[in-house]
Chain A
Amino acid sequence: MNKRTLAALVLLGASPLFTAARAEPVTETLEIDGEAMITEAPAPKDPPGHPFDVVKSGWLYREPDTRAMEADSFENPGMLNVEHGEEVWNTVEGEAGKSCASCHGDAAETMKGVGASYPKWNAKAGKPFDIELQINACRTAQMKAEPYKFDARDQVDLTAYIKHQSLGIPVKIDLSAGDMMSWWQTGKDRYYLRTGQLNFACASCHEKNSGNYLRADHLSQGNSNGFPTYRLKQSNLVSLHNRFRGCVRDTRAEPPKAFSDELMALEVYVAWRGEGLSIETPAVRQ
């Protein structure tokens, strides 16, 4: 073997992050307390250009123990946060002397399906709102209370409580409202934009290498239907924008601010990519 072929062989082996280890996601069905969840759905057709034929929940990529934890709402530690979120829902705060329940009543009725339709166009703000931004808008305008700081415990738990009311309902966002399509496009551009010292885009892991192992991590399609998600690594509920920032940080780039236009656009696009999957909040992941 001459030196040149040896060098070529070394180069071939020099892709240390993505190894050849590949495993198909499981084909099991997820039932949470006996209720069937949609964990595989045909990819949305409108607008065209979805990279997958079938969109899959991250649940299908997890270990059997983790999957079982989500299937039993008692065993799911994220439900502790949801319970706390219910307390927050009923707690009066701010000068107007109101709680969420003062206007919205019983969340089981009024919030059913709401979480599955966000992010949603907000005409007044001229941008898409996710649940967290909507909560803060309610807090300032209706309750006359301080808006939550990003990832305040009450914000995450209340968001989870609201989204949990849509458990099992498939994600479907309204892209025809307002300027949503241009945000979708911005989000798509962000999704494929390579950043950081590792020069990765979202798509590098969650599209091109979805199904492959990144060390011990079985890369999913990166759908957002389970957020806020109980991550065993953090032993806590993790918000979507926290995870966005974590992913960007892992590419060794400077993460954008939570709820910045950049990440809101990304949220719109990512939610669309996972349309048709059941809301699983609080999902359990690695």
Chain B
Amino acid sequence: MATPKPRVKVPKKASAGEIITIKTLISHDMESGQRKGKDGNVIPRQIINKFTCEFNGMKVFECELDPAVAANPYFEFNAKVPESGTFKFTWVDDDGSIYTDEQKIAVN
């Protein structure tokens, strides 16, 4: 599997207290651990098991993922932005890898 690549879409600007929509997508096979390879052996499970979003250190969104989630998990959620700052997104892989992305937003 190629290295998972996160993609995030956050508006560049917003007004104070505005509710914005955030979209995230990450390329990942989400191998369930239930499938067998060509050699008949079980392909070991490897999924993204956790996703979090923080804004200036505050938790905005968090969820755990299970093996039934399809490849390339996509999340869309809303957040209220009180001030300018940075959204930090984190995906945790079964193999311990952590993929992150950051997006700044200016509030006027």
**Chain A positions near chain B (C-beta within 8 angstroms):** 74-75, 77, 80, 83-84, 232, 235-236
Which residues of the partner chain B approach A75 to less than 8 Å between Cβ atoms? 23, 25, 74, 76
Q: Are A74 and B23 in contact, with the CB atoms below 8 A?
A: yes
Partner of A84, one of B2, B23, B25, B74: B2
Q: Are B71 and A77 in contact, with the CB atoms below 8 A?
A: yes
16 other A-B residue contacts (CB within 8 Å) besides A74-B9, A236-B71: A74-B7, A74-B23, A74-B25, A75-B25, A75-B74, A75-B76, A77-B25, A77-B71, A77-B72, A77-B74, A80-B5, A80-B7, A80-B72, A83-B5, A235-B70, A235-B72
Residue of A nearest to B4 (CB): A80
Q: Are A232 and B70 in contact, with the CB atoms below 8 A?
A: yes
- Min CB distance, B8 to chain A, in Å? 9
Which residues of the partner chain B approach A232 to less than 8 Å between Cβ atoms? 70
Question: What are 26 residue pairs bridging A and B, where the CB atoms are less than 8 Å apart in the complex?
Answer: A74-B7, A74-B9, A74-B23, A74-B25, A75-B23, A75-B25, A75-B74, A75-B76, A77-B25, A77-B27, A77-B71, A77-B72, A77-B74, A80-B5, A80-B7, A80-B25, A80-B27, A80-B72, A83-B5, A84-B2, A232-B70, A235-B30, A235-B70, A235-B71, A235-B72, A236-B71
Which residues of the partner chain B approach A77 to less than 8 Å between Cβ atoms? 25, 27, 71-72, 74
Distance between Cα atoms of A16 and B75 in the complex (Å): 39
- Min CB distance, A174 to chain B, in Å? 36
List which B46-85 residues lie within 8 A (CB) of chain A. Answer: 70-72, 74, 76
Distance between Cα atoms of A235 and B69 in the complex (Å): 11
Distance between Cα atoms of A267 and B49 in the complex (Å): 41
Distance between Cα atoms of A83 and B2 in the complex (Å): 12
- Min CB distance, B69 to chain A, in Å? 10
A-B contact count (CB 8 A): 26
Distance between Cα atoms of A75 and B25 in the complex (Å): 7
**Chain B positions near chain A (C-beta within 8 angstroms):** 2, 5, 7, 9, 23, 25, 27, 30, 70-72, 74, 76
Distance between Cα atoms of A74 and B74 in the complex (Å): 10
Distance between Cα atoms of A80 and B74 in the complex (Å): 12
Which residues of the partner chain A approach B72 to less than 8 Å between Cβ atoms? 77, 80, 235
Distance between Cα atoms of A83 and B7 in the complex (Å): 11
Which residues of the partner chain B approach A84 to less than 8 Å between Cβ atoms? 2
- Min CB distance, B65 to chain A, in Å? 14
Distance between Cα atoms of A89 and B71 in the complex (Å): 24
Residue of B nearest to A72 (CB): B23
Distance between Cα atoms of A232 and B25 in the complex (Å): 15
- Min CB distance, A210 to chain B, in Å? 28
Distance between Cα atoms of A74 and B25 in the complex (Å): 8
Residue of A nearest to B7 (CB): A74
Residue of B nearest to A235 (CB): B71
Distance between Cα atoms of A232 and B23 in the complex (Å): 19
Which residues of the partner chain B approach A74 to less than 8 Å between Cβ atoms? 7, 9, 23, 25
Which residues of the partner chain A approach B5 to less than 8 Å between Cβ atoms? 80, 83
Distance between Cα atoms of A195 and B5 in the complex (Å): 43
- Min CB distance, B51 to chain A, in Å? 16
Residue of A nearest to B72 (CB): A77
Which residues of the partner chain B approach A236 to less than 8 Å between Cβ atoms? 71
Distance between Cα atoms of A83 and B6 in the complex (Å): 12
Distance between Cα atoms of A133 and B23 in the complex (Å): 37
Which residues of the partner chain A approach B70 to less than 8 Å between Cβ atoms? 232, 235
